[in-house]
Amino acid sequence: MMFRLLFTAAVGDCYLNGPCLREEEKLVAMVISIIAVLLNEQYAFILAELAWFAVFARAGWDNKAVAPVGQVAAANQNGTAHVEEKKANECPPALKKAIDHSLELFLKNKEGDKSCDGETWELMSEIDGDKIWRAKYPGESIFRWRARSTLYGPLSGILAEMFDYAKRAGPGGWDPNLAKGRIHKEYDGGYKILVYSSNPVMGGLISPREFIEGRIVKPNQPGGEYLLAGVGLDQKTFGPVLGADFPTQDKNCTPAKSFPGGGFCMSPVNPALDPETPQEWHYTLVANTAIGGWIPTSTINTATAQVLTEATKFQKIHMNKRFKPSS
């Protein structure tokens, strides 16, 4: 009985999070797996395993073919290899459009009582001035989340602590929720591709998740505001668009997704001060993610609230230790 349960969970994870993009092939493998569970015969389980092996082998072949196809298409579109090389650092139009759309939604999410979907932000917690809200995400069983806090330090120093993943992530890093992260590709105009992964959550019940995001950074906004917005990138949609620029996914992590409308902003409490003077900053984060896998929605929502609360607290504590003079 235990084997059948474990087999069912593994098959469900393969169907939801496996690298195969061909739905019809996954459905065939799933039907064979269901029959195997019902028959509860060894040969049937072996047949199901062979079916999934064939599906993943085909997916590996498809993924290998993505980069050359994308490169050929780009070369044909621009006419010559020389022109393509000249434009290599321009953000691809499809990626730029997706990121700009996410920025537009984030600007609606970061302020006010309603989200960009017109849903009410519901206050979930308020601890030491740090507030966490959530709002329904139409058509999904997840929530949009908004956190508001303060950070202390010079602007460049705070940003360096956030994006120096050698200091922030992994063993010895100051962020307990982040396993690793890196900027994979930077384009002109502040556009970039970022890859990061989380540590296990809730005692290992939720395994590591990997996020691949397209982002835009907009410093020097009115009032000294610093803006960053991002959107999740999936292999099926952006693999052919980005070609070799699409990151190789970590097979040890479950792929997770960031919906449009997320990001963070910082604005000085006292706009008259030079941004490089250590000072208090208003900080707002909006996150709307689906972590994938077979975990129940109620568990995901509990974990999200827990992670967001901890991340807000640890970030604030770290910046105070790093930049506030000891009294």
Domain ranges of the chain: 2-86, 93-323
- Report the Cα 185 to chain-centroid distance in Å: 15
**Contact (Cβ atoms closer than 8 angstroms) between residue 116 and residue 259:** no
In 3D space, the residue among 220, 236, 228 whose CA is nearest the CA of residue 194 turns out to be: 228
Distances (CA, A) of 323 to 66, 162, 279, 320, 326: 46, 13, 9, 5, 9
On whether the CB atoms of residues 144 and 261 are closer than 8 A, the answer is: yes
What single-letter amino acid sits at 80?
A: T
Query: How high is the pLDDT of residue 261?
Result: 96
93-323: which CATH topology? Alpha-D-Glucose-1,6-Bisphosphate; Chain A, domain 4 (3.30.530)
pLDDT of residue 14: 63
pLDDT for 225 equals 96
- Measuring CA to CA, which residue among 263, 280, 262 is closest to residue 271? 280
Alpha carbons 62 and 124: distance in angstroms, whole number: 44
146 φ, ψ to 5°?
-130, 130
pLDDT at 67: 39
Which mean pLDDT values do the consecutive 10-residue runs of the chain (327 residues) have? 58 60 68 75 73 64 45 44 58 96 97 95 92 90 92 96 91 88 94 91 69 94 95 93 91 87 96 95 91 64 77 92 84
The DSSP output letter for 187 is -
CB within 8 A of 219, min separation 6: which ones? 226, 227
Element holding 326 (H helix, E strand): none
Q: Which pLDDT belongs to residue 58?
A: 63
Alpha carbons 178 and 174: distance in angstroms, whole number: 9
Give the separation between CA 218 and CA 204, rounded to whole angstroms: 36
- Alpha helices (H) in 41-86, listed in sequence order: 42-78, 81-86
pTM: 0.70
